[in-house]
Chains A and B, each alone.
Chain A
Amino acid sequence: MIIIGEKLSVIAKRVRLAMEARDKGPIQEIAERQFREGAAIIDANIGPAEDGGEDLMQWMVTTIQEKVHAPVCLDTTNVSALEAGLKVHNNQWGKALLNSTSNDPERFPVLELAAKYNCDVIGLTVGKGGLPADAEERAGIAAEIMARAMEYGVPLENIYLDPLVLQIATTQDQAVKVIETIRMFQDLNDPPMKTVVGLSNISNGCPKALRPILNKYYFLMLAEAGLTAAIADAAEMAEAMHEKALIAEVMAGKTLDDPKKMAEIVKTVDVIMNKTLYAHSYLEM
């Protein structure tokens, strides 16, 4: 499992301020911490970055790689900022990852970059019209992205298909469909296609205390389905790996010594599988 550390995102205030001030300290501190916690790739999410995105992405890539010997996931909708980042990316520790292309023609230039720089690219399985309804629709879009990639000269092993994780608090039925999709994506090619998710979106809109619980067990269930990589909180995922045996025991019908942990796992798995209706207080029921 490849963890792509999610913490360097423009959405976080501390990160945004550091980006604006070009203050290397917080960026490097967060990058190093994630690397220590087990992130193999560091995500640099600079947002749409319409003005000055090129300079910002170059600064992010060099600032991160100055301290952390790992590849960077270049995360922006600004295509020229992606290319600027690729130009300075040090490939000594692995290929850069572009986040992302999709089935929207506006995102095809990202495939051009992936071909030109021989880097990896995330293929988000959405098109121009609305969100995908189920696993089949996602697989259909994935097949189109794969055909497009071959047209542009991007090898399929450079692609990570992303089924798009949605919020469990508002679209509960999608959580299990994404797990099905991860299985289906792997069957689209031999060797199997690589897959990635933006994990934490599952718990977006949920109470703070609930978020790591949903994130962890959802991660383990996706891992079980064969997920290759996750953009996630590296510390949470390290914790999740410690609980891998526990969830396996619960799934096998065994009773855990810790009744609280047992209830937490059973209730969370039921909510993810859409067997019980989600509510913010589901653990208290």
Chain B
Amino acid sequence: MAYTIPVENLSGKVQEMTLGTAGRTVAVGGGTTLPFHTFEGVKSNRPVIAIEIQDVPPADWPDEVRAQYDAVSGDTVTWAKYCQDTLKADAIALRLTGTHPDRENRSVEDAVATIKSVLDAIEVPLIILGSNHVEKDSKVLVAAAEAASGRNCVIGKAQEANYKTIVAAALAHNHKLIAMSELDINLAKQLNILITQMGFDAARILTDPMCSALGYGLEYTYSVMERIRLAALAQNDATMQPPIIGDVGMYVWKIKEVTAAEADVPAWGALAERGVAWESVTATALSIAGANMLIMRHPKAVDAVRKTLDELC
């Protein structure tokens, strides 16, 4: 007798959203099944990979990934164009690291100028990320939303402590919004409720339940993402139906496994392969858990995940 694949009929769906403008849009999310369960219903869009750049040269990135961009990262616009044209990024994630008070403490005006010149140079969708400094972000991201008006970007991250100003700015300039909570599904739901109570359409939220690298709590992120998807699909919980974003690169490219010299830990193998493998595995795992969009750094890791997705989608 032929084997019949058991099919689970789920009642919910993942929100689908479109980023960017004109001919270079990208669709995120959608679908009525758990990730890659293509036999159970309408499949979601292939996870979108955004390649990360910064408003300042990545002096803080480990050599292995920094060196990939040495020729272009001196200028944010050149770096952005390289990711779009040479690396064929689906989207660009511009992190305004330099605005952090403990870093270059770049001004709001400087950040705005960078955003405008990057937007002038690229066609793919742009994700604009703050420096994860709650007070500074609420100033920088408000100005960023205005500077990017009309380009249908993603602005983030709105957190419990600063979501009001950032939500208002994303609302006024018609952007999508990343809502980030810290590895707690109940708080993720609560933040999405609070944001929609401000009149922001749930269909324009991306949920970031906080990422973590393999070996550094990946199982927590995995479990929260998986439970968010189950709430969205099995319980048809509208507050949990926004697409999920995994901010992978920044969590991977700081751990000792991607920086320790071969001479110190010969058993760990080639440094050049280690970081790439680490970022690929973390990103792949999260796409299986439910991430609809991934922010990544190393071109070879991006390639590896693309190959896996080619087979899964």
| Chain A residues proximal to chain B, CB less than 8 Å | 169-170, 172, 275-281, 284-285
Contacts and interface: CB of A to CB of B under 8 A. Distances in A.
B100 interface: no
Interface stretch (B138-146, B187-195, B297-305): B187-195
Nearest to B189: A279
B239 A169 contact: no
Contacts of B4: none
A281 B235 contact: no
Main secondary structure of the interface of B (DSSP, over half): helix
A149 B197 CA distance: 54
Interface residues of B, number: 14
Contacts of A277: 185-186, 189, 231, 235, 237, 239-240
A172 B190 CA distance: 14
Contacts of A281: 190, 193-194, 197
Contacts of A276: 235, 237
A169 B186 contact: yes
Contacts of B185: 277
Contact of B193 (A169, A172, A279): A279
A279 B235 contact: no
Nearest to B193: A281
A237 B239 CA distance: 32
Nearest to B227: A277
Query: Which among B186, B187, B189, B194 has the greatest number of chain A C-beta atoms within 10 A?
Result: B186
A170 B193 contact: no
Given A172-B186, A278-B186, A284 B237 contact: no
Interface string B185-219: 11101100110010000000000000000000000
Interface string B128-169: 000000000000000000000000000000000000000000
21 contacts: A169-B186, A172-B186, A276-B237, A277-B185, A277-B189, A277-B235, A277-B237, A277-B240, A278-B186, A278-B189, A279-B186, A279-B189, A279-B190, A279-B193, A279-B239, A281-B190, A281-B193, A281-B194, A284-B193, A284-B197, A285-B239
Nearest to B237: A277
A281 to B, nearest CB: 5
Given A278-B189, A280-B186, A280-B190, 8 more contacts: A170-B184, A170-B186, A276-B235, A277-B235, A277-B239, A279-B193, A284-B193, A285-B193
A274 to B, nearest CB: 9
A279 B231 CA distance: 12
B186 A275 contact: no
A284 B190 CA distance: 11
A234 to B, nearest CB: 29
A149 B231 CA distance: 43
